[in-house]
Amino acid sequence: MPYFLRTPIGIDLQLNIFKQDSSFTNVNQSVKLNYQVNTKHKLFGGLKYTESNNLLNVDYGNSISDYKSNYITVAYEYVKPQYNNTLFPINSNVFLESGFGTRKNSNVNQKQTQLLAEASKIFNLNEKNSIYLRAKGSGLISDTYFENELFRFGGINSVRGFQENSILATGYGFLNTEYRLQLSPTIYIHSILDVASFQNKITAINEKLFAYGFGLGILSNAGLLKLNYANGKINNQPFKFSNSQIHISFQASF
């Protein structure tokens, strides 16, 4: 709800429900007030609430457990559009967010901090050729961790060549790169080269990921359809075609 009561203040409401097989469910709710500094810069402040429920009959201790968390969040966003391109309307974007809060489990309070940084940029070589870069990193700072509160990434919206949300981490960072060739105002093909690094303090894992492939994007009146073929691997392991993934995404704006 932008420009509430004709002011530069807007209201953002968000609800996210995630279920991991029959293990647990996470329900995330947030409310933010944003202040539109100008057409490119925006400031945020708000509250985020998370409730997680263990669906297993067995108590796994520090692995999966019921908990509730509350955060105060502050954020900054920069957006630079490119109005002459309907396929890629955003030329560059930066989003920074930090959250400070407490996780409550069995009447035990644990102070936590969440950090998020994301940036993307399109380098236009000419009308049809461009290079796209996107970097994202996030971290959870806490004395103890539960598996059902960790970040989950992998898939078409993060590191391609891996199953959706198959990688668990207390902190991660990745870089997406694409060389794009625009065949028409509504169709483009692109290369895929992704690299990532993540850490899981529960399992004491610190790994690097690599992926390569190609993709196709089609813009219609209904939305943007993306088809990606990518092959991913963990550091020090060879690429295998059997590890390839086909990702499908459809984005509709309304």
CB atoms within 10 A of CB 80: 13
The C-alpha torsion from 242 through 196 and 100 to 7, rounded to 10°, is -100
At 218 the pLDDT is 96
Tens of pLDDT, residues 99-110: 999 999 887 899
At 4 the pLDDT is 87
- CA separation for the pair 144, 110 (Å, rounded): 8
Total-model pTM: 0.92
Tens of pLDDT, residues 128-157: 999 999 999 999 999 999 999 999 999 999
How far does CA 188 lie from the centroid of its chain? 23
**Contact in structure between 101 and 70 (CB atoms under 8 Å):** yes
What single letter denotes the amino acid at residue 53? N
Phi and psi for 215 in degrees, rounded to 5?
-150, 170
3-class SS of residue 148: helix
The residues, ordered by sequence, that sit 6+ positions from 106 with a Cβ below 8 Å of its Cβ are 65, 66
**Has residue 59 got a pLDDT over 80?**
no
